[in-house]
Structure 1
């Protein structure tokens, strides 16, 4: 709610295409602080080589527009809204996959809560895998091929 309200107010003055450093610091600051010795992008992956590539590439460190931050806040709110969760077909296969060291998923705790919420709302075919040692970009972690296999297996099973 807070993120949407802030972007609404700033957009009144600057428009939806404005790139707000305030919103960037409020959104990304906690993620960066999770790994203070690993630069601005250490939260994305434990792969040091990729972190260095990200840090050295100006195209990988852009700031979202207000519209981007607003949409992100909206998606987070919708994912937690029980009224919307109740509209999901109960037999829809769902696979929640996260890194145990991903600050976006609260180091696995937020992802676990989301899984429990969906399960408690009657979603029957839901699977959870929180990968030890992995961060936000699972496709860049050392165990990425195992992750790809799990995704493939899930798709083929369903």
Structure 2
């Protein structure tokens, strides 16, 4: 069963488009899937189907400026003007909507790339509403982000907030191609070594990379990164929330593993239970490699299932 939903964004302008996928069985829990920068939630259909087959309801939306939400509102690459927490608050609106439709079920979150940044911000405010979270392709201290913020703040102050961001994305993200040995043709080779995945990503009509992100929106992206960086961020995450932190060890977003372990260490040092797994030899989109995606999904399901078992044990003790 599929529910198509729409709700008003935190930016007070857009109508966010979302979907709730319901398995044809008694659900054991709910997984909210949070997609990354410049893409949309249906790129995760393989994952969604596997989650459903494991008994989970799956909720997902397309962020403001992305996918169907951008198409419906004609706002490609434009997140509005209400700040970098817009997407995070939209995700909580979706959580509330889904819980009203399907109450009293364990509720999990999976966030990839920027979706992991959103999830990390989310759990500092709403973490006590979740049973567990998986961070995929996340980042530690992100190189050159402060330099990007300086450039973008000047552009916005000069009245160019709605103009396409040109210089700052190269400063903030250009280094991510350093380990791409093949000739750069599409500009997305850092996501995956599979040319079919690269082509699909580059030519997807729902992909927000088809139009540039505005200076203001890219500023929000950079500000989001700084808000979830460091030990102080980790201290604001509920210590009882189980976290699974996964990435490819050749993922530049995770600084080739170093940044992924930074995040896990920030959390561990502040008393959190964190499981960390790096997949050797793989880049950013570990869930899209043909020879790896089934293993990745199985690992996530096993982690979430383990939290269900833990809840059952607690109930038995009571």
Cα distance, 1:97–1:68 mapped onto 2, change above 3 Å: farther
Q: Which runs of 5+ in 2 are unaligned?
A: 1-145, 308-318
Q: Structure 2-normalised TM-score?
A: 0.46
Cα distance, 1:44–1:62 mapped onto 2, change above 3 Å: farther
Alignment match, 2:224: 75
Matched residues in 1 for 2:250 and 2:221: separation?
Answer: 21
Cα distance, 1:61–1:32 mapped onto 2, change above 3 Å: farther
Alignment match, 1:42: 189
Q: How many residues align?
A: 157
| Greater relative contact order structure (CA < 8 Å, 6+ sep) | 1
Q: Deviations over 1:118-153 (max 9, x none)?
A: 111111x21111111211112211301100011111
By how many angstroms is 1:95 displaced? 1.1
Determine if contact 1:138/1:147 at 8 Å carries over to the other structure: yes
Structure 1 residue 133 corresponds to structure 2 residue 271: no
Matched residues in 2 for 1:36 and 1:25: separation?
Answer: 19
Structure 1 residue 84 corresponds to structure 2 residue 239: no
Q: Structure 1-normalised TM-score?
A: 0.87
Q: Deviations over 1:73-127 (max 9, x none)?
A: 122212223223212111111111111111111111111122112111111x211
Moved over 6 A (4+): none
Residue pairs, 1:25-36, within 5 angstroms: 25-36=170-181
User: Higher helix share goes to which structure?
Assistant: 1
Alignment match, 2:267: 118
Structure 1 residue 51 corresponds to structure 2 residue 195: no
Determine if contact 1:24/1:63 at 8 Å carries over to the other structure: no
Please tell me whether Structure 1 or Structure 2 has the larger radius of gyration of its CA atoms. Answer: 2
Q: Which runs of 5+ in 1 are unaligned?
A: none
What value does the CA root-mean-square deviation take over the aligned residues?
2.0
